[in-house]
Amino acid sequence: MHTPRQLKIGFIYNHEVPHQVAHTAPILKEMLVRHPHLNIDVLTSTEDQKELVCSGLGPELSRRTNFVDLDVSKIDKGIVRAANAVAPARRVLVLKHNLELLSSYDVFVVPESTSLLLKTQFGLNHLKFVLTHHGAGDRAVAQKSSIRDFDFVLVAGEKDEKRHKEHGLIRDGHYAIAGYPKFDFVPHVPANLDMFENDNPVVLYNPHFDPHLSSWYDMGVDVLDAFAKTPDINLIFAPHIMLFERKMHTSVEHKRVRLRKNLPKRFENLPNIHIDLGSARSVDMTYTRRADIYIGDVSSQIYEFLEKRRPTIFLNSHNADWAGNPFYTNWTTGPVLDSVENLIEMVRQAKETHEEYLPAQNQAFEDTFEFSGGKSSVKAADAIAEFLNQEAHSEPFVEAAQ
């Protein structure tokens, strides 16, 4: 029996925006606290991501954590500025520019699949990858084939376990059901929740960025106009953080490309409309926990909102035949509208009609998340630590001679 290897582990945060941080920072925190013998670095490609990780860890643990900056070359920065408006060019160039550094690691824990390029495109075949996911929604893209390339996968609950197995994406012994670690994310700089100077109901409008599925492109401005004319109801407009990050959005799944509409200036500075196109608040559950009613389309943030059961309304801007379709399970939790014409009326009735949707909300939430066995971030940290222990006792990968 050989001596266990001392693995070099990295938590990678490589994105233009910090929305994935809250999904893995609670896991990172528990691993640093519960498994201090592990050699863990935190690799971040933007200052915003680093700041949000530190917010989740707290000042003392942040000081004791080794952070590594990932950047691109000066030449690549010029390419990024041009290309990143329509594609995730920076993420790929960050990996390419830092290959020598990244090759020194044994295992990466990531919330996304771009990092797999290190193995599939850049030849770092010795690397092992742990996927945490960054959401637990219902879209078909949640079952993408790249998941099977991960060595270990965390799933939130029965829904994703069943769907992943049906698509051949996970195998026994290489995944764990961990619940939803993001629910354990508590920023150490508390957000000020007093966005409105009244006690009127608060509605969250949270459209996705997908050019085919999102309601923003065809209904969004009408939604804002409806609330601009309804001063006795407050609106938080906090779309998916990626919606206003790019001007052009592409859906490979639906083979569609669209220009994103700009936000008309007439909605700025209205007392009953709070606009957030991409701050940390839009990704740390500040708004999903503050709102009384949720309006959306296909964002997985609906399940964060349902942490506490409240009324939901969905906008079907793409004429989806959604009834009975598992990729629209979230739409069973509230009324679905094909136009904005009766939206305000539905908002006013939402609390009265909520009870009829409560069973569906309970079912969808319970199918999505498994919370038995303790705190999600602890379960996730311990499951990853067990996987790492097995890897440490396995034979190291050796590249075959050419």
| DSSP per-residue letters across 148-177 | GG-SEEEE-SHHHHHHHHHTT---TTSEEE
Q: What mean pLDDT value characterizes the chain?
A: 92
- Report the pLDDT value the prediction gives residue 379, as an integer from 0 to 100: 98
> Where are the CATH 3.40.50.12580 domain residues in the chain?
202-368
Task: Confirm if 45 and 307 have CB atoms less than 8 A apart.
Answer: no
Residues of the chain with pLDDT under 50: 188-189, 398, 400-402
Second-level CATH architecture of 8-180+370-392: 3-Layer(aba) Sandwich (3.40)
Cα within 13 Å of Cα(5), Cβ side:
15
**Residue 389 to residues 5, 6, 401, Cα–Cα distance (Å):** 9, 10, 28
> Where are the CATH 3.40.50.2000 domain residues in the chain?
8-180+370-392
Flag whether the pTM goes above 0.85.
yes
- In eight-state DSSP terms, residue 216 is I
Give 355: exposed, middle or buried? Use CB within 10 Å, 0-12, 13-18, 19+: exposed
CA-closest candidate to residue 110, choices 252, 11, 184: 11
Give 10: exposed, middle or buried? Use CB within 10 Å, 0-12, 13-18, 19+: buried
- Report the pLDDT value the prediction gives residue 83, as an integer from 0 to 100: 54
β strands within 100-209, DSSP E:
107-110, 128-131, 152-155, 175-177, 202-206
What is the CB neighbour count within 10 angstroms for residue 393? 12
Class of domain 202-368: alpha beta
- Report the pLDDT value the prediction gives residue 77, as an integer from 0 to 100: 59
- Report the pLDDT value the prediction gives residue 189, as an integer from 0 to 100: 44
